[in-house]
Amino acid sequence: MNYRKNKKGEDISILGYGCMRFTRKGNAIDLDKAEKEVMEAVNSGVNYFDTAYIYTGSEVALGEIVKRNGIRDKINIATKLPQYMIRNREAIDKYFDEELSRLQTDYIDYYLMHMLTDVAAWENLVNLGIKEWIKDKKESGQIRNIGFSFHGDTDMFIKILDAYDWDFAMVQYNYLDENTQAGAAGVKEAGRRGIPIIIMEPLRGGKLVDLLPSKAKKEIKNYKRGWTPAELAFRWLWNQPEIMCVLSGMNSIEMVQENVKTASDAKVGDFTEDDFKLVDDVKNYILDSMKVGCTGCRYCVPCPKGVDIPAIFACYNNMSIDGKTDARFEFARLVGIRKEPAFASQCVECGKCMNHCPQHIDIISELKKADKALRPLPYKIGIGIARKFMLEGRKKSKKA
């Protein structure tokens, strides 16, 4: 297993264990199976385990496995504050204490503000006294490192980096998301500031393996390195020095062994020109199968009316890869419930964006199609209710 350093200079395995995808048996997690897989990983040198309050049963299962096997001092546990459920200071303690109890531990190694999408969500927590709370928890040793997980765009990611002295950050990042979400620009900026990055969704929930277009699968299969599609995606990430750890939701012994093998070999700077060309080819095959040829370069923004053109097109394209439901959920999260609305319907057809698009996309008409596909009436209503609930919640916590 290869290791990289955290801010304190401690060794973190470059492969992390995502505990969200433990196998389920009926409604419950199959604890014995999960235990075997976790222990295979621990015995192979994996020392970073990621869970969250809202991953049903996951914290409890991980806590039980850790206790049964006496491995608390061998591993780092990462879990997350469900910040979107917080309305007052007491709730922060309530969720944190419950997480300690579920995990049967008295400290968390990596604690994250879960799913920040804009800086307003962080400011909301600041108004409730989160900075003082974190200071207390770090001084008492109950939290060792503080960070956040992020879903939003690069600009917002950098604003959140600016807003606090973070120990680490976690982003969705893979070769298909190179220019979306925090993107390569966000990852590099974090690296420049010495903030190590944890990666979630390195395979886009398995989509960069199972749902690759057949031309892409064939090119990877015939490639001289003999890599699997998963290996290609992991190695692309581990080639980048800013990345400390890549999470994988492993739920079979074979998957653990395969990933451990790659993580024992992959290093920064391993990628050759041919390897990058393979990734470009694969990306192009995927982009060809998409609805709009948007590369996420962001030359078209800011739009004077606040339309988040790249985010809308990314979600629209994801309908081909991730399916309608996942893409609409992502749209609600990225565009729908942010503080300042960024919907395609705000477009006044000024045409400013079209002059800047290197892909010569007919942005105005594609936005209309995207909006229709991503926001059918029931979703329009649902997003409207979610926005109202969220904004009222923020108002209340400001007053508190």
Neighbouring-strand partners of residue 145? 110
| Cβ atoms 262, 235 nearer than 8 A | yes
**Binding residue for ligand SF4, selected from 307, 315, 321, 334, defined by CB under 6 A:** 307
Stretch of residues binding ligand SF4 (CB under 6 A), selected from 11-19, 135-143, 213-221, 297-305:
297-305
> Measuring CA to CA, how many Å separate 268 from each of 41, 135, 208, 265?
22, 34, 21, 10
Pick from 299, 376, 385, 400 the residue near ligand SF4 by CB under 6 A. Answer: 299
Q: Which is nearer to ligand SF4, 28 or 350 (CB)?
A: 350
Considering the rule CB under 6 A, would residue 363 count as an interface residue with ligand SF4?
A: yes
CA-CA-CA-CA dihedral for 93, 98, 99, 104, to nearest 10: 130
Question: Among 87-95, 184-192, 199-207, 307-315, which window interacts with ligand SF4 (CB under 6 A)?
Answer: 307-315
Q: Could you tell me the smallest distance in angstroms from the CB atom of residue 190 to ligand SF4?
A: 22
353 binds ligand SF4 (CB under 6 A): yes
d(CA 350, CA 356): 13
Tokens of 240: 């980048």
Residue 313 binding ligand SF4, by CB under 6 A? yes
- In the window 122-181, what residues touch ligand SF4 (CB under 6 A)? none
- Position among 120, 184, 359, 379 found at the interface with ligand SF4 (CB under 6 A): 359
Rounded CA gap, 8 and 13, in Å?
Answer: 14
CB of 313 to ligand SF4, least distance (A): 6
Nearer residue to ligand SF4 within complex by CB, 125 or 176: 176
Verify binding: residue 298, ligand SF4, rule CB under 6 A.
Answer: yes
Shortest CA distance to 112 belongs to which of 162, 51, 195? Answer: 51
Is residue 334 involved in binding ligand SF4 (CB under 6 A)?
no
Residue 70 neighbours by CB under 8 Å, 6+ apart:
none
Candidate segments 9-17, 66-74, 275-283, 308-316, binder of ligand SF4 by CB under 6 A: 308-316
Q: Do 128 and 90 contact (CB within 8 A), yes or no?
A: no
Strand partners, 113: 81, 148
In this structure, what token pair is assigned to residue 350? 């000024």
Query: Among residues 296, 315, 327, 397, which is the contact residue for ligand SF4, using CB under 6 A?
Result: 296
Longest dimension (CA), the chain: 63
Neighbours of 280 (CB within 10 A): 11
């749902």: which residue's tokens?
A: 211
On whether the CB atoms of residues 250 and 234 are closer than 8 A, the answer is: no
User: Could you say which DSSP state residue 308 is in?
Assistant: -
Amino acid at 50: D
Q: Is 288 among the residues that bind ligand SF4 (CB under 6 A)? A: no
348 binds ligand SF4 (CB under 6 A): yes
Q: Which span sits near ligand SF4 by CB under 6 A: 35-43, 122-130, 146-154, 357-365?
A: 357-365
Provide the angle, in degrees to the nearest 10, between the axes of the packed helices 214-221 and 273-288.
Answer: 160
- Least separation in angstroms between residue 122's CB and ligand SF4 is 26
Nearest-10 Cα torsion for 258, 261, 267, 269: -50
Q: Which is nearer to ligand SF4, 148 or 313 (CB)?
A: 313
Stretch touching ligand SF4 by CB under 6 A, among 77-85, 158-166, 180-188, 354-362: 354-362
Q: Decide: is 300 part of the binding site for ligand SF4 (CB under 6 A).
A: yes
* Binding of ligand SF4 by 351 (CB under 6 A): yes
Residue 357 found at the interface with ligand SF4 (CB under 6 A): yes
The minimum distance between CB 384 and ligand SF4, in angstroms, equals 21
Q: Which two three-digit tokens encode residue 34?
A: 């999960």
Residue number, 351 or 384, with CB nearest to ligand SF4: 351
Q: Determine, following the binding rule CB under 6 A, whether residue 316 of this chain makes contact with ligand SF4.
A: no
- Regarding 314 and contact with ligand SF4 (CB under 6 A), the answer is no
What are the beta bridge partners of residue 16? 247
For residue 105, give the DSSP letter: -
Q: Does residue 196 touch ligand SF4 according to CB under 6 A?
A: no
Which two tokens mark 319?
């309908």
Distance, in Å, from the CA atom of 264 to the CA atom of 78, rounded to the nearest integer, reads 22
Give the residues lining the site for ligand SF4 (CB under 6 A).
294-300, 303-305, 307, 309-310, 313, 347-353, 356-357, 359, 361, 363-364
